[in-house]
């Protein structure tokens, strides 16, 4: 899978990227929603792993923009958050996220969690 990781924390971004690469995925990384929009338009990833707390445009606003564009509206989006009480599942789904993963990231489980999220994605 071609995965775009959007995460502003450099340590978390590198960790997720490396774990997914080791699992055999092609991974691109971006630190902001604005940079991610450009990458999404050019690269058309198979799935987006999206931190919800980003500087500037947050993850839910980015999700809405991705869903509003015909060329990108079908890309699966898996939200990542350390604040599940702030970002409730209903709100994530309403914004257009397909699934979510709670931080801290379990490096041994990340690839499997992502694949499970994709299998459970509504069609």
CATH of the domain at 73: 3.40.50.2300
At residue 63, does pLDDT exceed 90?
A: yes
**Position 114 confidence tier, pLDDT thresholds 50, 70, 90:** confident
Judge whether 85 and 58 are in contact, CB under 8 Å: no
Average pLDDT over residues 48-53: 96
The answer, yes or no, to whether residue 32 has pLDDT greater than 70, is: yes
Q: What is the spatial distance between Cα 28 and Cα 25, in angstroms, rounded to a whole number?
A: 10
Helix 110-119 vs helix 10-22: crossing angle, to nearest 10: 80
Between 122 and 42, residue with greater pLDDT: 42
Residue 88 DSSP class? -
* Distance from C-alpha of 88 to C-alpha of 26, rounded to nearest angstrom: 29
* Cβ neighbours around 2 below 10 Å, total: 12
The per-residue pLDDT for 120 is: 66
Query: Structure pTM?
Result: 0.92
Does residue 55 contact residue 22 with C-beta atoms inside 8 Å? Answer: no
- Number of domain units in the chain: 1
Q: For residues 33-51, give the mean pLDDT.
A: 94
**Residue 100 host element (H or E):** strand 99-102
- pLDDT, one tens digit per residue, over 81-101 is 999 888 888 999 999 999 899
Output the pLDDT for position 121. Answer: 62
* Band (112; pLDDT cuts 50, 70, 90): confident
Full domain range(s) for residue 98: 2-119
pLDDT of residue 118 exceeding 90, the answer is: no
Cα–Cα distance between 106 and 61 in angstroms, integer?
A: 26
Query: Does the structure show a pLDDT above 80 at 123?
Result: no
């Amino acid at each position: 899978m071609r995965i775009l990781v959007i995460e502003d924390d450099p340590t978390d971004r590198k960790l997720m990227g490396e774990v997914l690469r080791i699992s055999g995925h092609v991974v691109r990384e971006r630190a902001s929603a604005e940079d991610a929009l450009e990458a999404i338009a050019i690269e058309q990833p198979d799935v987006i792993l999206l931190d919800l707390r980003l500087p500037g445009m947050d993850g839910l606003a980015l999700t809405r923009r991705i869903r509003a564009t015909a060329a990108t509206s079908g890309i699966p989006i898996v939200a990542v958050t350390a604040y599940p009480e702030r970002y409730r599942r209903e709100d994530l789904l309403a914004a257009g996220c397909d699934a979510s993963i709670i931080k801290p990231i379990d490096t041994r489980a990340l690839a499997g969690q992502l694949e499970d999220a994709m299998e459970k994605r509504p069609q």
